[in-house]
A and B are shown apart, each in its own frame.
Chain A
Amino acid sequence: MRDVTLTDVELIGAFGDADRTFLMTEEAFQAFYEQTARPVWAYLARITGDGRLADDLLQEAYYRFLRSRADFESDDHRRNYLFRIATNLVRDHRRRRGHEERRLSDDSQVPGMSGGPHEGDRAVRRLDLARAMDQMKPRERSLLWLAYAQGCSHEEIADVLGLKKASLKALLFRARKRLLALLGTTGIRGGRR
């Protein structure tokens, strides 16, 4: 049968093809990537609890974004679409793993748990948050992250998560209460602040 591996010549040709295959130009992609990669990675890392998985899902999210034929009304719409792809990838991944939830441990793969003496309190608060988030439902994690870490509006959150805007307030309220309860048990509310 025909071999489908790429020769060097084909690899070089891939760049020319990319401009035709993807709706976005390389320059436009670069600007978009610089603007969105860090927030999307942070979102993926915190809702999966796994930095390496976040790396893989980030790559996949941008690939799917580039392959999509969607029209975008604005930069915000484009960014929300990317977050939506990322959310769906996490859902698919979770489904494939048969709802086996990964639990964060002290040697978590998500960076940011280390720091110098001045960073000590900050690192502890972040570790507490990571543990609390890990005990929450996936949808609650997404809701909280988008609302309070990303500062997304309710319309944007509804768009990204595929939820009705009317139900968001109650969902956010419950998720927030739960997070605070969990943080209370992990120490943040117990006087570390």
Chain B
Amino acid sequence: MSAPECSREQDVINAIVTGQWPDRCEASLAVHAAECAVCKELVEVTSVMRLDRDGLHEEMSLPSAGQMWWRAAIRARLEASQRAAQPFSWLFGVSVACAAGLAIAAVQLLWSPVHLAWGSSSLSAWGAWLGLGELVRLLPTLKDLAPLTTTGMLVFLAATACLLLAPLALYFALSDE
């Protein structure tokens, strides 16, 4: 469907939008609109839409400019605070992940003496009963971890301390700013 055009379309719209229609606009425009099908349609649509718009304008109750500014300012401040706190959330997450990793490592280290004390045969029996025979055979024994007993343990403890304390120290050092 091609759109029929009229050279006076915009004049008609402007007259209605500016409130000149129908009494204060050019007489020739009103005569033209009464005869032109395109302009007649425009008058019909524009009039009802302006009526609705004016009605909405009269009845709406809006917050004041000051309130709008105040809310925007507070929200901007809040978002800035949240952005500033984001690195700390990351640090906290990293610390928790490190602590969890170290806890797993510690459990594995402690497992060896238990493994040894309990005896591989009884453990294997439990493992077989639970259907974990292969897994139990793969668990490290104290002999496997012998190099870790002295120097290794010290390195392990130092790493634990660093991994746990460094993020916390960083957090407290930066949290005052």
Residues of A within 8 A of B (CB): 1-2, 4, 6, 10-11, 13-15, 17-18, 21-22, 26, 29-30, 33-34, 37-39, 41-42, 45-46, 51, 58-59, 62-63, 66-67, 110-112, 122, 125-126, 128-130, 144-145, 147-151, 153, 169-170, 172-174, 176-177, 179-180, 183, 188-189, 193
Contact = CB atoms under 8 A, between A and B. Distances in A.
Give the secondary structure class of A's interface.
helix
Given A22-B76, A129-B48, A59 B55 contact: no
B59 A111 contact: yes
Contact of B13 (A10, A151, A169): A151
B72 to A, nearest CB: 5
The 7 closest A-B pairs by CB, nearest first: A151-B17, A18-B73, A173-B3, A14-B77, A33-B65, A30-B65, A149-B49
Contacts of B81: 4, 6, 10
A110 B42 CA distance: 25
B76 A38 contact: no
B120 interface: no
B26 interface: no
Given A4-B85, A14-B73, 5 more contacts: A4-B82, A33-B69, A148-B46, A170-B2, A174-B1
A6 B13 CA distance: 50
Contact of B60 (A4, A111, A130): A111
Contact of B51 (A13, A15, A41, A125): A125
15 contacts: A4-B78, A6-B74, A6-B77, A10-B77, A14-B74, A30-B65, A33-B68, A42-B60, A51-B60, A66-B76, A112-B58, A112-B59, A129-B49, A148-B42, A149-B50
Contacts of A14: 73-74, 76-77
A118 to B, nearest CB: 13
Interface string B61-79: 0110110111111111110
Contacts of B77: 6, 10-11, 13-14, 17-18
Label chain B's interface by main secondary structure: helix
B134 interface: no
A13 B80 CA distance: 12
A133 B13 CA distance: 19
A1 B71 contact: no
